[in-house]
Amino acid sequence: MTPLSADALGDQLQQRIRAADHIPGLIERHEYMHGLIPELKAAIMDLRRTEPDHDAIMRCIDTFHRAVDAFKARHAFARLPYSPEVDARYPFRDEAFNPICIGAPADLSRPDGVSHGFGVDTV
């Protein structure tokens, strides 16, 4: 099978995520996504091995994140009202109560001469 280009993979990612819109039931849609996300991440990681254009890969990752965010917005679970007890967990901390820094896509810029310097957690 011929690997997809970054743009073709981006289109496929969007189509497969939008397919969840046709699944009846909120929980069922989220279960579908729970199974789909690792598969789509693996496809992006496979692209990393065949696509020489780093920017094209980053566009594909951005497309993936935007499609997932759009799914979450369309199919959101009802949230509990504000609670100081729940919100006392923030800022995010690990098990040792060390702060966890949340990165941004800009943090993924490639150093000169490094080919696709990001791991699966980036996707």
pLDDT confidence tier of residue 1, bands split at 50, 70 and 90: very low
Please tell me the predicted confidence (pLDDT) of residue 68: 93
Q: What is the pTM of this model?
A: 0.61
- Compute the distance between CA of residue 113 and CA of residue 105 in angstroms, rounded to an integer: 19
| More reliable by pLDDT, 40 or 4 | 40
* Cα separation values, 107 from 8, 54, 56, 122, Å: 25, 14, 16, 10
- Compute the distance between CA of residue 62 and CA of residue 65 in angstroms, rounded to an integer: 5
Read off the tokens for 100. Answer: 């966890």
pLDDT tens-digit map of 91-112: 566 777 666 665 555 555 555 5
pLDDT confidence tier of residue 50, bands split at 50, 70 and 90: confident
Please tell me the predicted confidence (pLDDT) of residue 105: 55
- Compute the distance between CA of residue 39 and CA of residue 11 in angstroms, rounded to an integer: 15
Report the amino acid identity of residue 76: A
Strand partners, 93: 99
pLDDT tens-digit map of 51-61: 888 899 999 99
Closest by Cα among 57, 75, 77, 78 to 19: 75
